[in-house]
Amino acid sequence: MILEVDNMNTFYGTSHILFDVSLQVSRGELVCLLGRNGAGKTTTMRSIMGLTPPKTGAVKFYGENVTGMPPYAIAQKGMGYVPDNRLIFPDLTVRENLRIGIKKSEHFNGEPWTIEKIFEIFPKLKILEKHFGGYLSGGEQQMLTIGRTLMGNPDLIILDEPVEGLAPLVVKDFAERLLKLKEIGVTILFSEQNVKFSLSIADRAYVIDKGRIRYHGTIEELRKNEDVKRNYLMI
């Protein structure tokens, strides 16, 4: 087990947002956290990364309890977080943005990522390598933030709504990029509202609603579960 979240309760001030959230991700898996607007997806990811630490419960990475550690320390352990705001450096080129992502990572023992390897997964970035970040489209920026995160050699990448606001054709391409990452062994946890996209690529799903995990299981089981889809996903 690479990531294990046990009964996490998270608050913003006095507002109780997450209720006993538990989830697990094994090495090599592509796992999605599905939920509507305001369901608690971002809060779950921020809690895991230590940005909004849970009040109770535990986050374990490779069995080590990392709850309460500062976000930079959690990142150094090997969790790469791609928030939903695609924060790239607009005045740096694509290549420079990627170079900035180089970091050491505690558990990583594969071949370290290089910019050329990133270009193999995201060929579009190679074409744009000398372009300034600020001129990229939404989809290109998303690829760049993921590429930059991979440059830190994480063992697990956590993506918050990676395809939100992207055009259908871009989403389709994105699905292929993520599958390629999975194929080469990258472990991925992502959140989404886009059910079609998520079901087309994930191995397993968690469904969150009002801060509680309402369902977890395989994609095939979720496809057949009309109640869960109707009640929590509006499809």
Q: Give the span between the Cα atoms of 18 and 39, in whole angstroms.
A: 9
Cβ 186 vs Cβ 179: under 8 Å: no
Which one of ligand ATP, Mg ion, none is in contact with 17 (Cβ closer than 5 to 8 A by kind)?
ligand ATP
42 scored as a contact of Mg ion (CB under 5 A): yes
- Select the span of 40-48, 86-94, 115-123, 134-142 touching ligand ATP (CB under 6 A): 40-48
User: Under rule CB under 6 A, which residues in 180-199 are in contact with ligand ATP?
Assistant: 193
Which one of Mg ion, ligand ATP, none is in contact with 86 (Cβ closer than 5 to 8 A by kind)?
none
24 scored as a contact of ligand ATP (CB under 6 A): no
49 scored as a contact of ligand ATP (CB under 6 A): no
Cβ-proximal residues to 172 (8 Å cutoff; 6+ apart), any chain: none
Cβ 34 vs Cβ 162: under 8 Å: no
Which one of Mg ion, ligand ATP, none is in contact with 50 (Cβ closer than 5 to 8 A by kind)?
none
Which one of Mg ion, ligand ATP, none is in contact with 43 (Cβ closer than 5 to 8 A by kind)?
ligand ATP
Dihedral, CA atoms, 169, 175, 181, 185, nearest 10 degrees? -170
42 scored as a contact of ligand ATP (CB under 6 A): yes
Q: How near is the Cβ of 122 to ligand ATP at its closest, in Å? A: 24
82 scored as a contact of ligand ATP (CB under 6 A): no
Q: Which long-range contacts (CB under 8 A, 24 or more apart) does 176-185 make?
A: 177/121, 177/122, 177/143, 177/146, 178/30, 179/30, 180/121, 181/121, 181/150, 181/157, 182/28, 182/30, 184/121, 185/28, 185/110
Q: Give the span between the Cα atoms of 139 and 170, in whole angstroms.
A: 7
Q: How near is the Cβ of 125 to ligand ATP at its closest, in Å? A: 26
Which one of Mg ion, ligand ATP, none is in contact with 153 (Cβ closer than 5 to 8 A by kind)?
none
Most distant CA pair in the chain, distance: 49
Q: Which residues of this chain interact with Mg ion, rule CB under 5 A?
A: 41-42
Q: Which residues of this chain interact with ligand ATP, rule CB under 6 A?
A: 12, 15, 17, 35, 37-43, 193
